[in-house]
Amino acid sequence: MNKNKEFTHLDENNKAKMVDVSAKTRTARSAIARITVAFDRATFKKISEEGVTKGDIFAVAKIAAIMAAKKTAELIPLCHPIFLSCCDVKFVMKKDENEILIYSLAKTSEVTGVEMEAIIAAQTAAAAVYDMCKAVSKKIKINCCELVYKSGGKSGIFKNDDIFGTALKDIEDWLE
């Protein structure tokens, strides 16, 4: 028996199941995720000042993120396929830390949330940045993918208190 009802993707026998969302109402929903890509100082300087020979890192990473967000249900077995009304990506250069913060936004008007789409978009953007930069350095770290914000649905608004305050200046134009 599923003793912990909080795990909605488990049935009464603790086996994986897809949540039935057929009775839910469509509502506007959004989610913002963030991931960090860290570099050594020389690589970060090269990226931020000169670029890399493969091309526009950020354009490639943004397109990769959007493509991945649209395929989330194909990648995450119990994730519902949804119509994305918006997916966007921002890159924030953190010179003092030799890091790039990648933020992804996903929006929909559906019966289920878009957190997974935002997370997949952020992770894929980070992987694309790694791919574009690996010829310069293999010492690239992809760190800490996390949900920053979500709105809509039964649970309403969520703000990740651990990072929301510092992230606000980067994402305020995305908030409703």
Domain ranges of the chain: 27-152
- pLDDT tens string 14-47: 888 888 888 888 999 999 999 999 999 999 999 8
Cα–Cα dist 94/45, whole Å: 11
Which of 40, 88, 96, 131 is catalytic? The answer is 131
Nearest to 85 by CA among 104, 110, 68: 110
51 sits in the region (left: phi over 0; alpha: psi -120 to 50; else beta) called left
CB neighbour class for 27 (10 Å; exposed up to 12, middle 13-18, buried from 19): middle
Q: In this predicted structure, what is the pLDDT of residue 4?
A: 55
Which residue in the block uniquely carries the two structure tokens 């929903």?
Answer: 29
- 20 as an active site residue: the answer is no
Tens of pLDDT along 56-113? Answer: 999 999 999 999 999 999 999 999 999 999 999 999 999 999 999 999 999 999 999 9
Residue with tokens 């509502």: 27
Give the type of residue at 28: A
Q: Is the pTM of this model over 0.85?
A: yes
Token digits of residue 147: 């949900």
Distances (CA, A) of 47 to 36, 61, 89: 15, 14, 18
Topology of domain 27-152 in CATH is: Alpha-Beta Plaits (3.30.70)
Q: What is the pLDDT of residues 126-176, one digit of tens each?
A: 999 999 999 999 999 999 999 999 999 988 999 999 999 999 999 999 996
DSSP string, the chain: ----TT-TTB-TTS-B-----TTPPPEEEEEEEEEEEE--HHHHHHHHHT-BTTB-HHHHHHHHHHHHHHTHHHHSTTPPP---SEEEEEEEEEGGGTEEEEEEEEEEEESS--HHHHHHHHHHHHHHHHHHHTTT-S--EEEEEEEEEEE-STT--EE-TTTHHHHHHHHGGG--
